[in-house]
Amino acid sequence: MSVTAFQDLPLADRDREWDGDAAEKRVRKWADAQDEPNQKYRDAHVWYDKKHKDNFTGYKLLIADVIGGKLEAVPRGVMAAGGIMDGARGGVDLPEDDIDRVKSHLAKYYEKMGESAPWDRD
């Protein structure tokens, strides 16, 4: 199991809608990962299963989309992932050892957005 390296992606406009399914399709095309995931595809996610890195189902917490031909973190995607990690959406099945690192990864994007992560709020 593994948390992806923080990419410090540029942030998309805060008002940009988030459609994870549509973003997934654009990321696959942009990454030239139509048949199987690759590093570029991985960079759009926060977590992946190293044992199943060649299977799209091994990737979780997509936070990025392709905008103007470049990969950007979408604030609403970050917030959706943050809500999942905070348990607001039923959580996500990740190894216990990876949860703090996933939260740390997401917290860096929250900081970039000028906000605190949901789990850090009073």
Residue 39 CA to residue 24 CA, distance in Å, equals: 14
Residues of the chain below pLDDT 50: none
pLDDT at position 116 is 93
pLDDT of residue 8: 96
Which residues are within 8 A (CB) of 87 and not within 5 positions of it... i.e. 6 or more apart? none
Answer for the pair 82, 117: CB distance below 8 angstroms, yes or no.
Answer: yes
**Measured between alpha carbons, how far is 39 from 4 in angstroms, rounded to an integer?**
10
